[in-house]
Amino acid sequence: KRAANFRENQKKFKVDVTRFEILDEAVADVKLRQLLWESVEAWAKYTEDWFKNEFNTLSPEDLNQTVARFMKYVVQFEKGLPENLIVPALRDKVEIMRNKLPVVTTLRNPNLKARHWLTIEHVLNTKFSAEVPITLEMLEKLGVFDLPTELQEISGQASSEASLEALLHKVEEAWRSLELNVLCHKDSKDVFILGSTEEVQTILDESNININTIASSRHVGPIKSRVDDWMKQLDLFSKTLDEWLECQTNWLYLESIFSAPDIQRQLPLESKMFLQVDKSWKEVMRRTAKNALAMPACTYPGLLETFQNNNSLLDQILKCLEAYLETKRVAFPRFYFLSNDELLEILAQTRNPHAVQPHLRKCFDAISKLEFGTKQVLPDGAVEGDENIEFETVLTTDIVAMISPEQEVVSLGKGLKARGNVEDWLGKVEEAMFLCLRRQMKEALLDYMKRVRTDWVLYHPSQITLTVSQIMWCRNVQNALESSNPEDIKGFEQECFTDLNDMAAMIRGELPKLRRSILNALIT
């Protein structure tokens, strides 16, 4: 105290503070010796508590911290105190306890269950009684510290089993609330389909990996029955989901096809099979919509067999449908230019010949659409004879002309009707096209001799004009080459120049777009 007061006064007078080194060393030595005696006493109390208290109250973390703290004290004592008998004795006691800590930690593993303690009893060749509390002192007498390897193996097995149970619990929790994404089909409130299954597939893949990991572990024994059940469930789930999605894909494709009365009429057996699948599909989806939990829905008894049977019927329907389309293509080969969906769209509306119009361009390279005849009919509810009636114009089944993408109209003659099977009347359209163009080409050849060329090139259809022009040019060239008069070739050349100049003069005038295109083709 006097030294401290003296230093305090020196600070107040702002003079150099005196260092009492000998005094400081003496105080530190006294404190260290005091700490030594306190440590010896405290250690004795700690060890008595550890060995006498119930073993299940011991905290391995607290033991480790306490032992580490006392080892730190021992090092301080060895450095700061002269040699004595007390410090080595304390060191020995602390090191002995430190060596026992791994076994204590092993036996205090929270993952040790009753079955593991039975194994420990067998290793220690003893039987623990519920009435007699287990203490560290009792365990030491039973020789637990002489069997660290055996006990660590049991504890490690317990930890491994616990981690496997946690992994299995993760799988169970993942499926507990997972639902299938069920959506209304189109605008119907009573017909459902599955939405995206990406989340379900992800969890299914993860679960399969986790279950296989658990099953391959040598510590799976206690939960093997649960793991086997999950392996069977996941396998059934995966197979059912695959069949389910395949069934949905084919059902969605065929549903729009067989909803058409014309297809039902043309494929009665296949329609009957599809109705069977359709009824089964809607029942399954209605049940799933009520309870969309993924695992119960996909492992429903008999569901896999139901989908396998449905898919078998759908495959049979698809094969029959493909064979049916092939017969149509054989009857009218230009149908090979159309996809299955496009051809089915036509066949589903056989009673509406105008349904073929959007697909004509693919069947015929230069036919954009067909021109049908018209007739005047009375509107619904009108009385014949009424002067104020305005007749309605409706299309008939008479095909009168073909129209090119450039809107050029070529008549197909009379008597051509869009009746019966679509492949039959389209075949007649093709025949009429050939006959019409052949007839018009003959007329254009005869007309070429009679009409002025500038009038002739605008009088006939463009395809006829171009073709006949090539024919006549080739004939004239051949005649000029075979002629014995050399002047004939020069004369034909001059004739060609004259025709080109005439057409160039025409093209500079006012012409419709189609006629201008014809002249461009002839000139170039």
Q: What are phi and psi of 184, to 5 degrees?
A: -70, 140
pLDDT for 22: 62
Examine the pLDDT at 86 and tell me if it is beyond 90.
no
Examine the pLDDT at 415 and tell me if it is beyond 70.
yes
> Under CATH, what is the fold of the domain 181-330?
Butyryl-CoA Dehydrogenase, subunit A; domain 3 (1.20.140)
In this structure, are residues 423 and 328 in contact, taking their beta carbons and an 8 Å threshold? Answer: yes
pLDDT for 190: 86
pLDDT for 243: 95
In this structure, are residues 476 and 370 in contact, taking their beta carbons and an 8 Å threshold? Answer: no
Q: Which range, 148-157, 298-307, 460-469, 485-494, is most confident?
A: 298-307
- Residue in 201, 181, 184 with CA at minimum distance from that of residue 282: 184
b/e map 229-264, b = 16+ CB within 10 Å: ebbebbebbbebbebbebbbebbeebbebbebebbb
pLDDT band at 34 (very low <50, low <70, confident <90, very high): confident
Same fold, 181-330 and 332-379+392-441: no
Q: What would the mean pLDDT of 286-300 be, rounded to a whole number?
A: 93
In this structure, are residues 507 and 520 in contact, taking their beta carbons and an 8 Å threshold? Answer: yes
Mean pLDDT of the chain: 87
pLDDT in tens, 352-403: 888 888 888 889 888 889 988 888 776 665 555 555 667 677 788 888 899 9
**303/499 Cα distance (integer angstroms):** 80
Full DSSP string of 209-263? HHHHHHHTSTT-GGGHHHHHHHHHHHHHHHHHHHHHHHHHHHHHHHHHHHTSHHH
The helix/strand/coil state of 191 is coil
Q: What would the mean pLDDT of 483-509 be, rounded to a whole number?
A: 86
**417/33 Cα distance (integer angstroms):** 123
pLDDT for 421: 85
Examine the pLDDT at 149 and tell me if it is beyond 80.
yes
Q: Give the bridge partners for 370, in sequence order.
A: 402
pLDDT in tens, 52-83: 988 888 899 999 999 999 999 888 888 888 88
pLDDT for 61: 92
State the sign of the Cα–Cα–Cα–Cα dihedral 255, 260, 261, 265.
negative
Percent of the chain's residues with pLDDT above 90: 39
Number of neighbouring beta carbons within 10 Å of residue 520: 11
CATH superfamily of 332-379+392-441: Dynein motor heavy chain, linker domain, subdomain 3 (3.20.180.20)
Examine the pLDDT at 10 and tell me if it is beyond 90.
no
Q: What would the mean pLDDT of 164-168 be, rounded to a whole number?
A: 91
Examine the pLDDT at 4 and tell me if it is beyond 70.
no
Going from N- to C-terminal start, the domains of the chain cover: 1-162, 181-330, 332-379+392-441, 451-523
Q: What would the mean pLDDT of 338-349 be, rounded to a whole number?
A: 86
pLDDT band at 289 (very low <50, low <70, confident <90, very high): very high
pLDDT in tens, 311-335: 999 999 999 999 999 999 999 999 9
- Segments in 332-456 forming alpha helices (H): 340-347, 360-363, 422-450, 453-456
> What is the pTM (predicted TM-score) of this model?
0.69
The percent helix, strand, coil of the chain (3-state, each to 5) is 70, 5, 25
> Under CATH, what is the fold of the domain 451-523?
Methane Monooxygenase Hydroxylase; Chain G, domain 1 (1.20.58)
Residues in Cβ contact with 454 at an 8 Å cutoff, skipping those fewer than 6 apart: 502, 503, 506
